[in-house]
Each structure stands twice: as C-alpha cells, then as structure tokens.
Structure 1
C-alpha cells in the first residue's frame, strides 16, 4: 500500500513451490530462526516448518475447514491483538485484507531465478523460490480469496488495459491493482491509501486526484487508473527502463529504492532485496505481482477451473452542473440508490459535490437519454433535497430553519437531536429542504472505506523496543500498551507486535476541512515537535513530504503540512 509522496502505490508478487509444505497462517508473519531453520509464530496453533531453502512452508493438504477457521481469526474487527475494538467487517473483507497484508520473513535469498518463456507476457516474468512461495499460497490455502480476486478482475481489467495501452505500458501491469486492493474500490489502508490503486492523498494530488468531504477520486476506477499509469511511467523513466525497480518504488517510494541501489551498489532488485534496508513488504511486492500474473495467465493449471468472472464495467456518462441528490438520480433511472453508488464509488455522500461547477456521473448503460430528458424538467432548486450545515457560534435551530425556509421539527427529527437548545459548534446538521425526506444523508455522514487494521511487525534478532519505536515513529510506551508488555523488555525473534493505533471508522462529520501550509524547519525542530504544534501525526508529515524514517531535518528545510483552518501552530 502506498506510503509516500511522489512514489507510492504497492505492487505484489508471485509464489513459491517447495517440495513439501505445511500450513502458513495468513494472519501472521513468520520468521525463520538462525540455527534450526524452524519457523517461530506468535500463534501457537499454526503448524509450520521449513525445508533446506529457508522458506516458510505451506501444507497443501491442510484441510479447508481449518483454513476457514484460521481466516476467520482475521476478523480483528471483533478483537485485535492490542485488545481494542474496531469496526465490524465481513469475513470476505477480512480474508481480502489478510491476504493483501501477508508478509513472511525469509531467512535466505530468492534462489535460482529463471525466465518464464512458456507463457506470453508483456512484462518480464521470472520464477524463483520467493515467487513460487506466493504461487503456492495463492493456489493453496488462500485459494478461496484469490479466486474472488480473479473473478472481480473481469469487471475492471478491460477498462484498465485500455487505459494502460494509451500510455504504452505493459498490459500485464494492470494486475498491480489486484495485489494492491483485490480490486476493491473502497479499500483503505493503515497508511491512509485508498481505492483500487491505493494512492495516499499527497501522491493523489500530484496525479490530479481530488479528495474532500464529498468525494475521493482515488476511488474512481477510471481516474485512478490514469493516475497509476502516469505514476508507473514516471518511475519507469526514472529508473532507466527497469520495470522491477519501478514496481518496487511504487511500494516503497522512489527515494527508498534509489538509496538501496546506492547502498548495495547494484540495480538488481533481487540483490538489493537480500539486505536489511528494504522492508519485507517491499521485498514481497514484486514476487506477489509475478505470482499473480503466473496464475492469472493459466488459471486452469493451478486448479482454478470454475471461475465466474464478473461482467466488464459498462456505463453511460452525463454531466450535472448543479448539486444533485443520488436518490433523485436513481429514481429517474429506475434503479436502486445502491446501484448508482456502486457505479460512482468516488462519491462519499448522498449527493454530487455542491461546490463543483459540474460533475460527471455514471449511469446504467442506455439510461443517459431518458435520464436527461426527465432531469432537465426538474427546477434547479429541487435537485438537491438536503443541505449540509456546520454549526457556528450564534446558531440556533430557529435561525437555521428561518434562513432556509424549513421547519425546526424536521431538523430535530432528521438529525435525532435530543436537546434542541444545545448545539455543538463545529457539528454537522443535515437540513431537509423538501418534504418526503429520508435518513439517507445522516447514514452517509460517516465514511464507508473498508479499512485494513493495525500494522504489525515480527521481531528479529537484535531488535529492542527502542529500535522498533524509532522505526515506526511511535513511543515505547505505546508499544507496551498496545501489546500488553508491562515493564518487560524481553522480546523474542518471531514475536508479533502491534506497531500502529487501532484502525477504527472515522466519523468525518465532525472533522474540519484542511488547508495546506508550508513550514520552514527551525533549529532544534523534530517531526514530533512539529506534529504536536499543528496537531498532525509524524507519519502524515512523512507521507506528505516523502520522507524516510531516517530523514534528518535541517534548518531552512520546507515541509508541506495539511492543517485545520485557523491553526497557525
């Protein structure tokens, strides 16, 4: 999942086929210890071993019933490792997230790498132990989840291939979206990356993807695909035509990969991934993509013989020049509200953005002409049935009602206000401008992102709480609380630690919009100090400015910050 400005987005990899395999728990990372070539897990119920290659092994004969029960453990929505509750999600979504975030730790290198020449690819595909590992994972214990990804690909790949062809990119690269999101447009990562191509906001802005309270164009499958194509093309050109380095930079960032090249004096992805500088997620990124491509090109060979591919995404497009409720759009098209929302995943609320001069709206195929015929007969003032109002000092329900020509009782009823005399400044009210209103806008005040959960890290030899806290920009106290460590400093290789805060749903209705400012670093400044001053996170500052964990601030440096209006530090 994307991490940093100018170089984000992740790719994924293939698999590995080792002679004999045992079950690998998708929800946990594995670590091969020095000495015994065994795998240590935080979980006591994962049956794991390794062979002479030093790779974690997957048992292909492990019963599906056990796989299902293990997969259900990923419902961290119900109870995560840190003991804090997060939002509930479906089993299918939990399994998607578990497979997307699978990150085993390999003790040894990738083994012998050979080119795949029996299948036609337009992207350089090779096979080695790491690629085979993910091939076996995707076609083995994670088979059900990967099957869903393959079937979902039918909806998006035709459009994505058409767009990639416009940029003269390998069409096989479109499978990057599979590894990024499992072709889920509402995917949202712990790093705040969103959409099928998993852009973070800062990188999205670079590639013309707009995000505000009303919409998130990172979720627009067509616009996001254009952005991903441009981003990959830029990385390919920067790395002088090396697709493997370009793909790795999509995950880790251009600067990170460039520093790895300089550190190891090599432009070979496999060589620079043997060292400790790159994170495991980046090392797996390319192998996952290669594995997915290998299976997708010949699914029958890997046992996927009953695929039911989704129908390609098709739609009409119309432009609306005024704020228009999607309930009205659905009525005029004769379809459900949910179908309109599904065709327009970038729209986060119940309406097209009120401040936009125009908005391109997707409609079911063949419905544009009858829609426009009816739509143009509706007065502009009647196209929006609701208005969002942010409470300011001096507001009362009576004043608000008079200003908009509506009834106080309707405001109270729709917003479920228990004490009409106590309005909280900064809170959001939905004003029903027409009779026959529903609670739909109130339901959609909250974002509908499908969030991944708390980031985890597998302890390695030589790690300490101090080192881990520095690496993930958190405090030792937070690590102790999240992982219930008390005052103990004892860590064991293979132990899994939670290294980020809980990923709960955010209620955006009470959040203020942000503005951009440029901060000049002063002597003695740290990212933590600056974050505290402007009420933003250090990781956000790093993402906005494409900074690595080891970046050193220097007086006079300029940092871009996204802060609440009126917050001058």
Structure 2
C-alpha cells in the first residue's frame, strides 16, 4: 500500500504542475468537449452486454476467486466494520435521493437487470476496495463509483467512439492534461492507479469550479466545463434557476447524470429494484508492487503464479509484452500472490527481467527497419544502444529487447486484442484494406459504402483517429456495395449547411452524426477559428444515419 501512495502522490504532483499555466476558470474547457460531447454514443449507451470484457475475445474472465462469506465469522472479528464493500460504499454516499422523472426513467431501464449488475460487480471486484480508499481519503462521495459504472461498466479495456479509454473514460487530451502517459508500451488511461488518481483530481477541480455542486461537476465530466457554463448562462438569461435540472445540455449529458443517480439508488437498495449484487468482502483484493525496471509480463505472471491473461486484466494499461522501459514498472497483483512475486523477483538477476537479442545491421537497413522488425520503437533502440541519432551502418550491432514467449501467448496485448476484434465474425463479406498515404476513415468508408462509425468500431478505433500508411483495416461489406467501380453508394450525400446563431462544430456534428475533425477537414477550418452565423459548411453525410430528411 505504501507503493500505491507513493505512485499516487507522484501522479498528483504531475497533475498540479501541468495545471499551473492554465487560467483557473478555463482549465478544463472542452477537455471532454468537442472530441466526445454530443457526437458519439458512450460505452454505457452502446453496450449493456454482460458477456465480455471488451477484450475482443468474446469470453469472460474470472477476475478473482468467488467468496461466500459467513456473517458470523466476520461479525466476531470486526463487529462494527462493514462486512461487504457495498455496505462500506453506501456509508460514503453523500448526494441523497432525487425524485425526478429523468431519474425514474433510468431506474425503469436498469431495475431488474440482475445479470448486468452481477457482471459489473464481478468486473469491479478487484478495484472497489482500492477506489473506496481513495474516495474516503479525499472525502469524496462514493456516488463516483456509479459514475465509473456509467462510463465503462468497469470494463478495463473499454474504448468509446469518442476516443475515451479505461474505466474512467479519459480522452487523450484530458489524460495528458492530468499527467497520464500514453505511448507505445503503456496507456495511463487504463492504469487503475494512475487513472483513478487523475479522475478524482479532475472531479475535485470540477466540483470546486461549480461551487460544490456535484451534479454540475458530473455533467461537466461528460460534456466539458465550457458547455455547462454556457448552459448556466442561457438558463440565467431565461430567468431560470441555473441548477442541473433546468439546463439545456447535449442529449447524452441530459441522460448521463440521471443515470448515475439511478445506478446509485439501485446500489443503495438493490433488493427494492430486483437486483442482487455479488458478494464482495470488504477486504483489500490487490497490492501494488514495484519491479523497479522493465519486466517481461510472461515472467512476471510466472513469478506471481498467475495466468498472463489475469495479469493483463489487473494491469490493462500495459500495451505490449513488457512494462514500459521508462516505467512505470509497478504491477497490480492479487493480494494473495504479491508476496510470492516479490520473493521470487528478489532472487533473480535484474538483467534477466527481459531477454535481449544482438542484431547485426544489414546493408540497406535503417533504424526504423530494425525497430519494426522487432516490434519496438526507434526511440527505445536509440536509448538502449546509446545512439546520438538514427544513423546506423551495415555491420553495426544493436541490442534489442525480445519477449520470452511467442506473441500469441500475450493474448491481451494491444496487438492481440485488435487482432481478435478484427477477426470477430460479422455480417457480410470480410475485406482487408491497406491504408494509402493521406487516406482517412471517411475516404475508406465511402469506398466500401459503409458507415464511418462502423468502420472505426470494426478496427478498434474512433472516427477521428489518424491512420498510418500501410495500416491494415478490416471492412465488412454487405450486398452489392462493391459492384461496379467499388465507389460510394447513394448512402453518402454532400450537403451545404448554413451556420445559425448559437451553433458550434460539436452541435453540428451531433446533428448530422459526423465527426468534428471531419467537418474541419472538409472545410479547411484551422484550430482557433470561429464560426459565424451565415457561414456555409460542406458536410459529407450518411443518409442512413440521419434522424430526418436532408
């Protein structure tokens, strides 16, 4: 636990440092805004499915042993302490109950969804005690656990079409702002320790920005602080009390906060809502241990007596076959396995934590060629081998880290999760497309007459993600969409839209079910540009995804 506190403290320091150059009233403006607000249906709307952990493997994982606690046993040892983590959570609820039609609608949707709450509870089981510790230390409401449920359902590899990742669903810009590293080896948005610390930092700041109003803070977590402030100003201009319930916000956010409150009510009294939560004793389930340097995950799993899959489930921030060379080197392990891991690790030579291969540079090879061949980055090769630049010559020898097992055995690495997702059977004929220089998802979607969002989903991407030359994409084509020239079908139409008073790119993107980045691309709009009433925008829209005729 000391390691956990040290790591959390270091990340907090990073966050505070990163924030010092921002104006206090605008520091989170649109951090959850244009990239996700009102444009993409989040994880909690897209999928209430309970069968997978969004790993692409289509099967559940046993995250932790099942416990059938006996009240008598626990009562004798800790009579005044909550027996279950759910009881402890309820004691830390702070927001009260809201009688509101929007909350009632969400309660009707979720009441009786026994299988859903059982799956969410089992996915959350390793994390709940830790998160409650963090909430209690900061005196934050335990309702924020319901926020995480709404954001991701506690799917460790959750990734939304708005480019949000992890149980707290950070988009890249927000994650970087709050000190989360994202690189080839590691994504801090999916790291339980780092992302929880960053999410609570973010929510604390939002709560302070809205004078202690948690409903507004949670709305801003979803829609962006700027959008909520604008809604408050509109409400005041109309003579309304600017509380959450009187604000006109994006449709997603109008459901988001009521859904959190409904989930909270169900967790408060599951029996009244025909739900049974899994038994989770109020005991630590995980420990955070330090390896101090890069370590092969197959070796780490062996030392801890765990499967590699379970190690990935507890450490979903790890993208590859090892921890990142520059760190963090901490691992989250089941409490009962942590001592064994530390003992076995201490008996090893640190040089053996990762295997190394000596590569002789061939004629015509570049550092990039060598990096691609061994699935590492150019920066890593340069650092490991003490190179001042990227110049290598035939006959030079380079040291390269290599995995101890075949790549397929690291089944929950980012590459293998993507492969499993792309190999999932879907309707239609499977096609493979190699990305050409300058191509976008929109270009490829038009070529195959498919929706941009579908194309992105098939390939584990968001519609606004940038493609790499030679990247391999999977496309599922139905019917005769690829006949003749293989060009776009009548599904796609080019329309001209005249900007109205109060319009924003996010609002226009939401209306036409397109991406903000695509609107900028189609119209040559640069960062920092403003829309004006009367401006005309060219939009390429999929007519099958429009709610009304164009």
Of 275, 287, 291 in structure 2, the residue corresponding to residue 316 of structure 1 is 287
SS at match of 1:227: helix
Structure 2 distance, partners of 1:310, 1:152, is 14
Shift in alpha-carbon separation, 1:306–1:444, aligned structure 2, 3 A: closer
Q: 1:239 aligns with which of 197, 207, 210?
A: 210
TM-score under structure 1 normalisation?
A: 0.53
Task: Report if the CA contact (8 A) 1:446-1:506 is conserved.
Answer: no
- 2: distance between equivalents of 1:165 and 1:506? 35
Match of 2:544 in 1: none
Give the superposition deviation at 1:210.
1.1
Separation in 1 of the partners of 2:176 and 2:45?
33
Aligned to 1:440: 409
Corresponding position of 2:530:
552
Does the CA contact (< 8 Å) of 1:125 and 1:290 recur in 2? yes
Is 1:144 the counterpart of 2:119? The answer is no
1: distance between equivalents of 2:175 and 2:518?
14
Contact 2:57–2:421 at 8 Å: present in 1 too? Answer: no
Distance 1:236 1:548 in 2: 32
**Aligned residue number for residue 428 of structure 2:** none
Q: 5 Å matches for 1:526-537?
A: none
Change (3 A) 1:548 1:365: farther
Alignment of 1:28-427 (within 5 A): 90=58, 121-140=93-112, 142-265=113-236, 266=240, 267-273=242-248, 278-305=249-276, 307-309=278-280, 314-356=285-327, 359-385=329-355, 394-395=364-365
How far has the Cα of 1:370 moved from its partner? 4.0
Superposed displacement of residue 291, structure 1: 0.6
Runs of 5+ unmatched residues, structure 1: 12-25, 29-69, 78-86, 94-117, 405-429, 453-472, 484-497, 513-525, 528-536, 555-569
Q: How many angstroms does 1:384 deviate by?
A: 1.0
Aligned-residue offset at 1:163 = 0.7
| Structure 2: tracts of 5 or more residues without a match | 1-27, 38-43, 62-89, 375-398, 423-440, 470-503, 506-514, 533-550
Q: Give the alignment's Cα RMSD to 1 decimal.
A: 5.1
Q: Is the helix fraction higher in 1 or 2?
A: 2
Verify the 8 A CA contact 1:214 1:347 in the aligned structure 2: yes
Partners of 1:146 and 1:388 lie apart in 2 by 51
Whether the aligned pair in 1 keeps the contact of 2:309 and 2:410 (CA below 8 Å) is no
The TM-score, its normalising length taken from structure 2, stands at 0.55
Q: Which residue of 1 aligns with 2:548?
A: none
User: CA 1:386–1:481 in structure 2 vs 1: closer, same or farther (change >3 Å)?
Assistant: same
Please give the per-residue CA displacement for 1:81-109, whole angstroms capped at 9, x wherever unaligned: xxxxxx9663889xxxxxxxxxxxxxxxx
Contact 1:8 1:251 in 2 (8 A): no
CA drift of 1:300 comes to 0.6
Q: Is 2:219–2:228's contact at 8 Å kept on the other side of the alignment? A: yes
Partner of 1:539: 517
Distance 2:228 2:530 in 1: 18
What is the total number of aligned residue pairs between the two structures? 369
